[in-house]
Amino acid sequence: MKINLSQVRCFFTAISFGLIALNPTFGTAADAPVAAARKSPDWLRKSVIYEIFPRNFSKEGDINAITACLDELNNLGVDALWLMPIHPIGEKMRKGSLGSPYAVRDYFAINPDYGTADDFKKLVAGAHQRGMKVIMDIVAGHTAWDSVLIQQHPEFYKKDDAGKIIPPNPDWTDVAGLNYENQELRRYMIEMLKHWTKNFGVDGFRCDVAFTVPTEFWETARRELEQLNPEVVLLADANAAPKLVAKAFDMDNSGALHSALNRVMSGVAPAYLLQQSWENTRQQFPQGSLHLRFSDDHETTRAVARFGMNGALAVQVLMLTLDGVPLFYNGMEVGDAAESGDPALFEKLPIFWNVNGRPPLRDIYRNLIKLRKQHPAFQNDSVVWLQNTVSAEVVTFSRRDDKDEFVICINLSSRMASGSVEIPKAEDFTLLKIDGMPASPKNLLPEFRLAGYEWRIYQRTITK
């Protein structure tokens, strides 16, 4: 669902940061709440998720073009494919010439422009053969105005005092709101989720604007889906909904951190705002909650267009080295900047896969993913933020387990930053050389000198 992003960002930024002062607090992980999050499948915590907009992923814009790229995605290190809605798109009151994929006309069908049911089954089977999961994007809170449900079950919809069906939000003019006070609607939607799980073998669902649907519905849906697949995952598109990850969802989308990142990268806020956002979320959410870490997705202008090539790389390094599950949006690995704002949802804007003169982003990301997977220190939820002397520009933090400790230094400004970081046993750390990354000066901790958007990862082996 496409919404007024500027209003939403302002709203959630106020929620996320209005109660904390803009003063850096360093060196300790934030206190966690008592309540624990549900235990998610081990495969999810270790995963890298890759979001695909089928219309724009290829020139063909269909499912078979995705299937043809499975080996390439597997080689990059992708573990799970998140497919934006693949259902037929509404035509009535659509936005743009093609309409938003989040205006669904039939939950049980596949967009004929994308292919057939058999095509989708082949994609899922091909992904599974390569050890990858497939997650469908589901829009449970609303449908297109020409949805089959409006024709068959008008009682499923929200209505005004005059009995007229209404959108869930006045700005969302291309969709009609569903009314979850209707118990038959709830049963219909659960059976729909079970249909894709049982008949197509999908591994889970990313649930668009999940907070617009009652939490108890999601909890019931999970219980029934787990009877078909005990390791099913549900990902919530929710920016500030801790209760959703207590029982129903495996992960939220970390929207507060993304808002903070945009403020930092635009120069509105200092880099240490990211630590404050992270700590605020840690306090709000149940202990052990998973968060999707993203710098680029279908609802934002491409990261390369917002931050430049080096800036986009720097913020994705942050996503890959923090706790949680990192996301790639299709085309990031080649620095694509074709999509820009609202038109990306309503028109066809293919990714430019072959552009000369760009840095070797695919190689850098592949090797960072490999580093993440080889070391359990990157797969736990322990992050210790480290004090540095230029905290307005540079973030520094450590990730560790019982074998290794890593220190990550990222300059989130376009200016040179020279400083030092407080870290015990600094002399034991060595600078990692990530293949495909330009060579860095061999200066050692605790001192650092980082060019604009430069980043470094240091490692030490823990001896007992």
Q: What pLDDT does 339 receive?
A: 61
Could you tell me if residue 232 is inside a domain? yes
Q: Are residues 279 and 235 in the same domain?
A: yes
Q: What is the pLDDT of residues 7-53, one digit of tens each?
A: 333 333 333 333 333 333 333 343 444 478 888 999 999 999 999 99
Q: Are residues 400 and 353 in the same domain?
A: no
Could you tell me if residue 386 is inside a domain? no
Q: Are residues 213 and 273 in the same domain?
A: yes
Instruction: Please say which residue of 381, 413, 442 terminates a domain.
Output: 381
Q: Are residues 223 and 249 in the same domain?
A: yes
Could you tell me if residue 200 is inside a domain? yes
Q: What pLDDT does 443 receive?
A: 62
Q: Are residues 241 and 366 in the same domain?
A: yes
Instruction: Please say which residue of 381, 408, 424 terminates a domain.
Output: 381
Q: What is the pLDDT of residues 219-269, one digit of tens each?
A: 999 999 999 999 999 999 865 568 888 889 999 999 999 999 999 999 999
Q: Are residues 407 and 338 in the same domain?
A: no
Q: Are residues 297 and 428 in the same domain?
A: no
Taking residues 54-81, what's their average pLDDT? 97
Q: Is the pLDDT of residue 348 over 80?
A: yes
Q: Are residues 87 and 188 in the same domain?
A: yes
Question: Taking each helix axis from N to C terminus, what angle separates 255-265 and 5-17, rounded to the nearest 10 degrees?
Answer: 100
Q: Are residues 451 and 351 in the same domain?
A: no
**What CATH code is carried by the domain that includes residue 439?**
2.60.40.1180
Q: Are residues 406 and 366 in the same domain?
A: no
Could you tell me if residue 387 is inside a domain? no
Q: Are residues 347 and 444 in the same domain?
A: no
The answer to whether 52 and 339 have CB atoms below 8 angstroms apart is no
Residues 308, 314, 317: CA angle, nearest 5 degrees: 140
Residues 444, 446, 449: CA angle, nearest 5 degrees: 65
Could you tell me if residue 388 is inside a domain? no
Mean pLDDT (the chain) is 89
3-state secondary structure 137-204: EECCCEEECCCHHHHHCHHHECECCCCCECCCCCCCCCEEEECCCCHHHHHHHHHHHHHHHHHHCCCE
User: How many structural domains is the chain composed of?
Assistant: 2
Instruction: Please say which residue of 333, 348, 381 terminates a domain.
Output: 381
Q: Are residues 430 and 327 in the same domain?
A: no
Could you tell me if residue 266 is inside a domain? yes
pTM passes above 0.85:
yes
Enclosing domain of residue 411? 394-461
